[in-house]
């Protein structure tokens, strides 16, 4: 097979921005706040932070180094390092295929709110029951995700991702600033203090293994780990860019955005529900139920809301484009199907698989695989089953097959490796064991065998 010369990111900032651009998306804005709300607020935040500097750090270093060492994306990279373990690359590649359809359903919800705000319906969007009426409608959410997938597919089909990336490099910092601004505004609302305390102050009574399972899944999802993405990014990284400090910067950036997204949403739930804490369990709809109320309470809220949803739509599209692009590349390389044809196939497949995730909140709400809605089910399969498996295998592979020295050598090409000890101990011992515990407990819990 002919290999095109890989274009490299020109410098460290370029690399960090590109990787952070892939990492920041609906995971930070939509997923993190509803999980933080649901799994105990401050205690979830604390567990997440601890996992980010230990697990997140270790796995991101490992993946980026594997990518840069081999110059290949996941499947090729594992194959080159040890043929017997190519299956890890394949397993990682399944994750984006599962994520993209339900990611598109949420992207569709963003389109709906964007349309609401642009057509002057921002007050209506803030009313109780607006979101529920929308997602239980049999056709509207389907039209929305269809449009979202269509836009994604057209961009991948035409090969104009680079243009979108350029625009998003300008828009993402604006989104970051806006998120911080809204978070500060939320904190000034009367009655937000209880919510703020719930969000930042760990309450150990809320701790359970579920908190760890949820935080770990979120970490992988948000930082695009355990799905081959960071290996691909690493393969484009120049040899003179420092891996360790890049990883630190990507993690800080991604975590800050998630933190402020939570701060703009979680306290607001307390403000607008008169302290009724059952609202914090809203799940995937939390952002869409809460934020319009925040915008409705501010001067110029309809304009700020519109700006916010445009930017979120952009963030969601850059992620979905990169997800689709990843899948198309795999199909193109492995099944030798032309890129355009592959895009078409993936787009149709994504629409079909998105259908149950969307209908699961409406006419199919009676069908609950493993007791979950379809969207939660797909989310569970990717985040609580597949990603821990891939992460565990990757750690095993690095720790005992190619050995941690092989990674350390790559990291140390141009700098010292300050947290090498942490990396080695995590990779060889702590990460695999904890991931196994998480995996087993979440499977047993889903099957109803034990209650965690
Ligand atoms: N990390 C992204 C987010 O926070 C979501 C995501 C998962 C992603 N896998 C990806 C983005 C692959 C780009 C490529 O929303």
Q: For 219-231, how does the pLDDT look when each residue is reduced to its tens digit (9 = 90+)? A: 999 999 999 999 9
Instruction: Give pLDDT, residue 197.
Output: 95
24 CA to centre of ligand 1 in angstroms: 7
Helix extents (H) in 382-430: 387-396, 404-411, 420-425
Specify the 3-state DSSP secondary structure of 148.
helix
Beta strands in 206-297, from DSSP E residues, in sequence order: none
Q: Rounded to the nearest 5°, which phi and psi values hold at 368?
A: -130, 90
Model pLDDT for residues 61-98, shown as the tens digit of each residue: 999 999 999 999 899 999 999 999 999 999 999 999 99
As a dihedral over the C-alpha atoms of residue 233, residue 238, residue 242, residue 245, rounded to 10 degrees, the angle is -30
Give the pLDDT of residue 277: 65
Instruction: State whether the beta carbon of 273 lies less than 6 angstroms from ligand 1.
Output: no
Q: For the whole model, what pTM was predicted? A: 0.93
Question: pLDDT digit string (tens) for 206-218?
Answer: 999 889 999 999 9
- Which residue among 18, 19, 22 is best mutated to probe the pocket of ligand 1, counting the most ligand atoms within 8 A of its Cβ? 22
d(CA 64, ligand 1 centre) in Å: 16
What percent of the chain shows pLDDT beyond 90?
79
- Most informative mutation of 60, 101, 233, 323 for ligand 1 (most atoms within 8 A of CB): 323
Which tokens belong to 201? 């102050």
Answer for the pair 450, 439: CB distance below 8 angstroms, yes or no. no
Tokens of 311: 């930017």
Q: Which helix H or strand E contains 450, and what residues bound it?
A: none
Nearest Cα to Cα of residue 19 among 308, 310, 319: 319
| Neighbour-count burial of 2, counting CB atoms closer than 10 A to its CB (0-12 exposed, 13-18 middle, 19+ buried) | exposed
Q: How far apart are CA 108 and CA 288, in angstroms?
A: 12
User: For 241-292, how does the pLDDT look when each residue is reduced to its tens digit (9 = 90+)?
Assistant: 999 999 999 999 999 999 999 999 999 999 998 766 678 888 899 999 999 9
The DSSP string of 290-334 is HHHHHHHTSTTHHHHHHHHHHHHHHHHHHHHHHHHHHHHHHHHHH
Q: What phi, psi does 362 have (nearest 5°)?
A: -125, -115
Q: Is the CB of 218 under 6 A from ligand 1?
A: no
Mean pLDDT of 132-159: 95
Provide the terminal-to-terminal Cα distance of the chain, rounded to the nearest Å: 49
Q: What is the pLDDT of residues 380-409, one digit of tens each?
A: 999 999 999 999 999 999 999 999 999 999
Is 298's pLDDT higher than 70?
yes
Cα–Cα distance for residue pair 181/422, rounded to 1 Å: 36
21 in contact with ligand 1, CB cutoff 6 A: no
Which of 24, 227, 319, 390 has the most ligand 1 atoms within 8 A of CB, as the residue to mutate?
A: 319
Q: Are the C-beta atoms of residues 284 and 102 closer than 8 Å to each other? A: no
């Amino acid at each position: 097979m002919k290999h095109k010369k890989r274009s490299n990111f020109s410098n460290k900032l370029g690399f960090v921005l590109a990787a952070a651009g892939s990492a920041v998306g609906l995971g930070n804005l939509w997923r993190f706040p509803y999980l933080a709300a649901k799994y105990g607020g401050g205690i979830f935040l604390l567990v997440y932070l601890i996992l980010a500097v230990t697990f997140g750090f270790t796995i991101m270093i490992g993946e980026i180094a594997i990518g840069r060492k081999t110059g290949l994306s996941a499947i090729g990279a594992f194959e080159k390092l040890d043929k017997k373990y190519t299956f890890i690359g394949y397993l990682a590649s399944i994750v984006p295929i599962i994520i993209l359809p339900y990611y598109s359903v949420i992207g569709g919800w963003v389109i709906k709110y964007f349309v609401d705000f642009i057509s002057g319906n921002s007050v209506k969007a803030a009313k109780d029951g607006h979101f529920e009426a929308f997602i239980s409608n049999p056709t509207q959410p389907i039209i929305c995700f269809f449009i979202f997938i269509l836009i994604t597919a057209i961009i991948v089909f035409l090969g104009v991702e680079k243009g979108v990336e350029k625009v998003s490099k300008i828009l993402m910092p604006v989104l970051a600033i806006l998120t911080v601004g809204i978070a500060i505004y939320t904190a000034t609302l009367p009655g937000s203090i209880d919510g703020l305390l719930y969000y930042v102050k760990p309450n150990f009574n809320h701790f359970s293994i579920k908190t760890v399972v949820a935080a770990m899944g979120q970490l992988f999802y948000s930082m695009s780990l355990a799905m081959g993405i960071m290996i691909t990014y690493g393969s484009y990284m120049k040899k003179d860019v420092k891996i360790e400090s890049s990883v630190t910067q990507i993690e800080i950036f991604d975590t800050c955005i998630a933190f402020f997204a939570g701060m703009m949403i979680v306290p607001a739930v307390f403000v607008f529900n008169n302290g009724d804490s059952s609202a914090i369990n809203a799940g995937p709809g939390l952002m869409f139920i809460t934020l319009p109320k925040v915008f409705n309470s501010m001067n110029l809220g309809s304009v700020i809301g519109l700006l916010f949803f445009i930017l979120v739509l952009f963030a969601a599209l850059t992620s979905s484009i990169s997800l689709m692009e990843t899948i198309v590349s795999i199909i193109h390389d492995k099944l030798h199907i032309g890129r355009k044809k592959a895009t078409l196939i993936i787009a149709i497949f994504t629409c079909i698989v998105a259908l149950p995730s969307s209908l699961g909140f409406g006419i199919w709400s009676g069908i609950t695989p493993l007791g979950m809605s379809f969207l939660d089910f797909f989310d569970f399969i990717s985040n609580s089953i597949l990603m821990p498996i891939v992460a565990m295998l990757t750690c095993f592979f690095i720790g005992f097959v190619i050995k941690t020295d092989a990674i350390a050598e790559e990291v140390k090409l141009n700098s010292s490796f300050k947290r090498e000890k942490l990396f080695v101990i995590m990779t060889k011992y702590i990460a695999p064991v904890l991931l196994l515990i998480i995996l087993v407990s979440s499977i047993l819990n889903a099957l109803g065998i034990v209650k965690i």
